[in-house]
Chains A and B, each alone.
Chain A
Amino acid sequence: MAAFWHNLKTTLRLLSHNKVGFVGFLFVIFFILLSFVGPYVVPLDRTTKLDQIYAPISLQHPLGTDFSGRDVLSHVVHGGRDVLTVAFLAGAISTVIAVVMGSVSALIGGKVDSGIMGLADVILTIPQFPLLIVLAGLLRFNNVLILAFILGILSWPSLSRAIRAQVLSLRERDFVEAARALDLGTGHIILREIMPNMASYLAVSLIFAMTAAVYAQVGLVFLGLVPLSGSNWGVMLQLAWTKGAIFYPKALPYILAPVMAIALFQLSLVFATRSLEEMFNPRLRTGV
Chain B
Amino acid sequence: MAAMMELVDLERSFKVGRAVVRAVDGVSLAINAGEVVCLVGESGCGKTTTGKMAVGLLRPTGGEVRFEGQDIWQMNAADFRKYRQAVQIIHQDPYSSLNPTQSVVDILSAPLLRHGFAHSRLEARQMSADCLRRVDMTPPEDYLDKYPHQLSGGQRQRVSVARALTVNPRFIMADEAVSMLDVSIRVSLLKMLGRFRDELGMTYLFITHDLAVAKFFAWDGRIAVMYLGRVVEIGPTPRLINYPQHPYTKALLSAIPEADPHATRTKERVQLRSMDVPSLLHVPSGCSFHPRCPLFEPGLCDQQVPGLADIGDRVQVACHVVARGARTV
Contacts and interface: CB of A to CB of B under 8 A. Distances in A.
Interface of A: 173-175, 177-185, 188, 192-193, 196-197, 199, 280-283
Nearest to B94: A174
Nearest to B90: A178
Given A182-B166, A182-B167, A283-B149, A192 B102 contact: yes
B78 to A, nearest CB: 12
Contacts of A192: 99, 102, 110
Interface string B90-127: 01110011111111000000110011000000000000
Contact of A178 (B81, B114, B160): B160
A182 B55 contact: no
Given A181-B57, A182-B166, A183-B81, A174 B91 contact: yes
Residue of B57, B96, B167 most packed against chain A (CB within 10 A):
B96
Interface residues of B, number: 31
B149 A181 contact: no
B89 A183 contact: no
B219 interface: no
Interface string B61-102: 000000000000000000001001101110111001111111
13 contacts: A174-B91, A178-B163, A181-B84, A181-B88, A182-B88, A182-B164, A183-B115, A184-B111, A185-B114, A196-B101, A196-B102, A281-B101, A282-B100
A192 B99 CA distance: 9
Nearest to A178: B97
Contacts of A185: 114
Interface of B: 55-57, 81, 84-85, 87-89, 91-93, 96-103, 110-111, 114-115, 147, 149, 160, 163-164, 166-167
A182 B111 contact: yes
A199 B163 contact: no
Contacts, number: 73
A283 B93 CA distance: 18
A196 B167 contact: no
Contacts of A183: 81, 84-85, 111, 114-115, 167
A185 B114 CA distance: 9
Given A181-B88, A192-B102, 6 more contacts: A174-B92, A177-B91, A178-B160, A181-B57, A184-B111, A282-B147
A280 B101 CA distance: 8
Contacts of A174: 91-93, 96-97
> Nearest 3 A-B pairs (CB), nearest first?
A196-B101, A174-B97, A174-B91
A282 B96 contact: no
B147 A181 contact: no
A184 B106 CA distance: 13
Task: Output the residue of A173, A175, A281 with the most chain B CB within 10 A.
Answer: A175
Nearest to A193: B99
Nearest to B97: A174
